[in-house]
Amino acid sequence: MTDLGGTSGIVAFAGDWEGPVVATSVHAGHGLRPEIADAMVLDEQVRLREEDPFTDRIAEVVPDRAITHRSRFEADLNRPRREAVYRRPEDCWGLDVWHGGTLSRELFAGSLATYDAFYEALAPRLDALAERGPFVLLDVHSYNHRRDGADAPPAPAEDNPEVNVGTGSIDRETFGPLVERFLADIRQGGGCGPIDARENVAFEGRALAWFVHDRYPGVGCVLALEFKKVWMDEWTAEVDEERLACLRSALASTLPGMREELEKLR
C-alpha cells in the first residue's frame, strides 16, 4: 500500500515501513514550486541531465521507500543544509540557474523549507525502524560519465564503476560483513551477468548517509548507490530498458542477503 499523503507534494512513502530495508531516490524528482520555476533560466534538458531521472524505478525493487517529487535545483536533499540550495553557478557545476545570476533570499528560505520538510517527514519513519533494530537505507543515485559530450568517449571505466557503493561514514565494525555481502551479491548481477561494483571510487555518500549514521549510531546503515548512466543516454534521457531491468534485478538480488546480515545483528 502506498501512502500518498506526501508533505506538500515534496515526498510520499510507499510500503508499510516495517523494515528492515528501505530505499530513497532523492534526486529523481523533477518538479519545482511555481515561484522557483519562474525565477529559473536554466534549460530544462540541462537540469534533467544533472538530476537522477528514473532512479526511482531502480529503488522501487524495495517495497518500503520514500518517493521525492522536487528537483535538486529547488533543494538538494543529499547536501548539508547550509549547501542544499544552489544560489550561484559555483554551487552547481558552473551552471547559470537564476534570473539576475543569484537566488533571492525569499526564494532561498522557501527552498530550505522544502529541505526541512523532507527530513521532518522521513525522521519519524526511521525512528520507528531504529526502535525495532538494525536497518539499511539504500540511497539510490546515478551519475554522468559522458560529460565531454554526447559523441565524445566516455570517462575511463577504471575510475567509473557501473555501481559505486558509497560507504564513507558507515560503522564498519558493526556493518562491515553486511557491506561485503552486498558487494558480493550485486556483483553477481542478479542473473544478467557480472556487474562492476566498487566502494568509494568517486562517491562516498553525503548528507542523507550522515544524517542516518549520526542519528542512529550502530543501528542505521546507509549504502549510497551511484549507478553509472550506462542504462540511459545522459544527453537525451532515453532509457535502455533491458539494461535498467538488469540493474533492478541485481539490486533486488541483494535484499535477502542484507536481511540475513541484519538478523545476525539483532
The residue type found at 114 is: T
Confidence band (pLDDT; 50, 70, 90) for 9?
Answer: confident
**What is the CATH number for 20?**
3.40.630.40
pLDDT above 50: residue 243: yes
Residues 6+ apart with CB under 8 A from 21: 62, 64, 135, 136, 137, 138, 255, 258, 259, 262
pLDDT (average), residues 177-186: 98
Per-position DSSP letters for 47-85, written without gaps between them: HHHHS-TTHHHHHTTSSSEEEE-B-TTT--TTS-GGGSS
* Domain boundaries, position 243: 2-265
Other CB atoms within 10 Å distance of the CB of residue 157: 12
pLDDT (average), residues 222-243: 96
Beta-bridge partner residues of 31: 70
pLDDT one-digit tens code per residue, 88-127? 999 999 999 999 999 999 999 999 999 999 999 999 999 9
- Do 127 and 71 meet the contact criterion of CB atoms below 8 Å apart? no
Number of structural domains in the chain: 1
Confidence band (pLDDT; 50, 70, 90) for 74?
Answer: very high
Q: Considering the chain, what percentage of its residues have pLDDT values greater than 90?
A: 93
pLDDT above 50: residue 213: yes
Q: Angle 120-142-99 (CA atoms, 0-180°, nearest 5)? A: 70
